[in-house]
Amino acid sequence: MTRVATRNAVARIAVGLLAASVVAVLAGCAGSGSGTNDGPGASTPTSATPTAGSLHGSITVFAAASLKQTFTDLAARFEAENPGTTIELNFAGSSDLVTQITEGAPADVFASADEKNMSKLTDAALIDPAAPVDFATNVLEIAVPPTNPAGITSFADLAAPGVKLVVCAPQVPCGAATVAVEQASGVTLSPVSEESSVTDVLGKVTSGEADAGLVYVTDVKSAGDAVKGIEFPESSGAVNTYPIAVVKDSAEAEVAQAFVDYVTGSVGQSVLADAGFGAP
């Protein structure tokens, strides 16, 4: 073989090796973790969402007094499903909670027993106006001691002379609902006491200090045999809607939002329904 032929053969081999290398490099790039593929069955990348066990942090939830039983249960379930989280619960009348948050109390989530008190925080720019989500409804029911000493059978009976009636203060959601029922029915009540939360009203009845109290259906149910519940048709005219939202300055916004999602999700809605709450 001549020198020219030998050089040509070597050149052809070099070109072939170079082409093979280029093909291999391109194939490697196509199979690298770029996250994109145009072929059938290719997956599209999605934004990361919290999964069970991935959350870490401690939050404080401010919730209406009527949510004490359900939120205590839901907080325990949430923590069990997310071992890296801790939930502190603060229960009181919704108006009192608004005052606390407005004055700087550290809250990550607020759950109100009405939309009016939630609006106070959105108006104060402490909660994003688009954040609140309705998660439950509730209506009033008359609670009396098991023996019903005053013989209460209707809403009008609460206005009878000598009846020791206890209600929520007007600025509290259960009190606002009471006023609405009074106005709609034309019945004027003369309570012996106005309390700052629905649980305080229930306490007056269970202790025997009152003949009757206006509380929520859920409070009567949670009290069990300690009280007797008396439904009245006028209550349908004052249905309370419960919203929940993450507070703007939350230092643990991801955990806070996850808890909100938990309350509004299937587990939360099941627990609330079992307690007597209506759907939002």
Indicate the annotated binding residues for molybdate.
Answer: 66, 94, 198, 216
Which letter, b or e, does each residue of 155-185 get, where b requires 16 or more Cβ atoms within 10 Å of its Cβ?
bebbbeeebbbbbbbebbbbbbbbebbbeeb
Residues 6 or more apart from 208 whose CB is under 8 A from it? 145
Strand, helix or coil for residue 264? helix
Burial, 72: exposed, middle or buried (Cβ in 10 Å; 0-12, 13-18, 19+)?
Answer: middle
Beta pairing class for 240-246 and 133-138: antiparallel
User: Which among 113, 223, 91 is positioned nearest to 176, based on CA atoms?
Assistant: 113
Indicate the annotated binding residues.
Answer: 66, 94, 198, 216
CA distance to 62, 138, 249, per residue, from 101 (Å): 9, 24, 11
The DSSP code for 160 is: S
Residue 255 CA to residue 79 CA, distance in Å, equals: 11
